[in-house]
Chain A
Amino acid sequence: MKIEFNFAFLDENTKRMIRRGLLKAVAIPGYQVPFGSREMPLPYGWGTGGIQVTASVIGRDDCLKVIDQGADDTTNAVNIRSFFQKVTGVATTTSTARASLIQTRHRIPETPLRPGQIMVFQVPEPEPLRTLEASEQETRTLHAYQDYGLMHVKLYEDIARHGHIATSYDYPVMVNGRYLASPSPIPKFDNPKLHHSPALLLFGAGREKRLHAIPPWTRVESLAFDDHPFEVQGWEAPCSLCGSRDSYLDEIVTDNAGSRLYVCSDTDYCTSRREEA
């Protein structure tokens, strides 16, 4: 028995269904479009939503980059990239600049995206209100009436208790002034990159069976209060490898005494800076 697959694994009917969903998602920025998500050969939680979006979008001329935690060489990124090499044969790259299509988990690259690029986000939980309201019927109604009081109360309570909004990743955003949306679990450091992005941003949640999108040049605001403006993370030390002071850093524990180093989470950015130096 030999098992043959269609280009990009999905059959054409499934791709067509997802493509129609993506067009709706782009037309209604930030709105979660339900779609008939399929089981992929990778487990739910590993990026099946992103994989289905990429599979529906990708063509023979594309150059694909896959990152997880900002890095091209983490095991899950390697696995997803090799899956697409197997089922499409397209060119792959680690270079943000060279890629036409980027699938990501938890980061937006440091190198600014350019017009024409498409970024596909893997999304575990597309509903920003889910931890505040478990029922899907309820949250859908809240979105329908743009009733986001729950979230404002939550953020306000954070401030009352901690003096800060205690959300450091998957920080909720208002898209085009209408829909509260989850940017996927990127650190809030990356949120400003969503605003007026030159690239098209597509979000796929496989297990939750939802798609959403942020078209290029779209207003994306991270929630904040006048007296508690939105701020991103910063580090006192630069990257130990490339010296960058502008990139998101991972903390590395180097010995049992608890010594620490900070290095760029974006491996392509860090490598190219070191090559230039």
Chain B
Amino acid sequence: MLSAAFSDPVHDSQQTFRAMLSALAEPMIPGTLPRLPEAPATLDPACAAILLTLLDQQVRLWAPDLTEEAQRWLQFHTAYTSAESPEQADILWLVLGHERPPLARLKQGELRFPDRSATVVWQVEGFTELGAPCFEGPGFQTPRRLQPLGADAAFWHEWQQCNQHYPLGIDMFFAGNGQLVGLPRSSRLREESQACM
């Protein structure tokens, strides 16, 4: 027997979408996901909420960490299509710190259609300003420091490489423990020499 997902799919996915929209519109501000679904173990309910909101048969998902049970659950609730490789994926669910494909392999769109690119949903434990890089760009009233626990300089370097040919690039959400942070490709790392907030 598969467990339930959103208790009120229409309104819960609407609320989740609004949280995602805010997260992407004002990157690197931790937001709360107001409606968490029941979800199989290993899939954090915050990530589950996002996947339930984004996925359907039109979307190809790459999620190497999904257990068989979680796969069945997600398939039943969204009818998503499995991507055959990370290069094909529209959406990826990855656990930060686990083995994963390099970001450079993901779809970054085409110059005429930069929207034909991948979105990564990272499962994380939480967020910290400690040691975090400083970001700026659209959606930042002032530059901000933040990073998910487990992200290091190498991660940010890889992210930066991947978005250097803007508007090509990938968009990301970090989620876990009921919280959500967005990072669109339009965000930039601020030079260390410049002041942050």
Contact = CB atoms under 8 A, between A and B. Distances in A.
Contact of A215 (B119, B138, B185): B138
A86 B58 CA distance: 30
B21 A22 contact: yes
Size range of the interface on A? 35 or more
B166 interface: yes
B133 interface: no
Interface residues of B, number: 38
A219 B136 CA distance: 12
Given A12-B10, A27-B24, A178-B166, A217 B171 contact: no
Contacts of A118: 21
B26 A215 contact: yes
Nearest to A213: B25
B115 interface: yes
B53 A29 contact: no
B11 interface: yes
Contacts of B139: 215-218
Contacts of B26: 215-217
A23 B20 contact: yes
B82 interface: no
Contact of A12 (B9, B21, B119): B9
Interface in B69-89: none
Given A7-B10, A145-B111, A26 B141 contact: no
A215 B59 CA distance: 25
Contact of A29 (B54, B56, B110, B186): B186
Given A13-B58, A198-B141, 17 more contacts: A7-B11, A12-B10, A23-B20, A24-B115, A24-B171, A26-B184, A27-B171, A28-B114, A28-B184, A59-B14, A59-B15, A118-B21, A140-B112, A141-B112, A144-B111, A200-B25, A215-B184
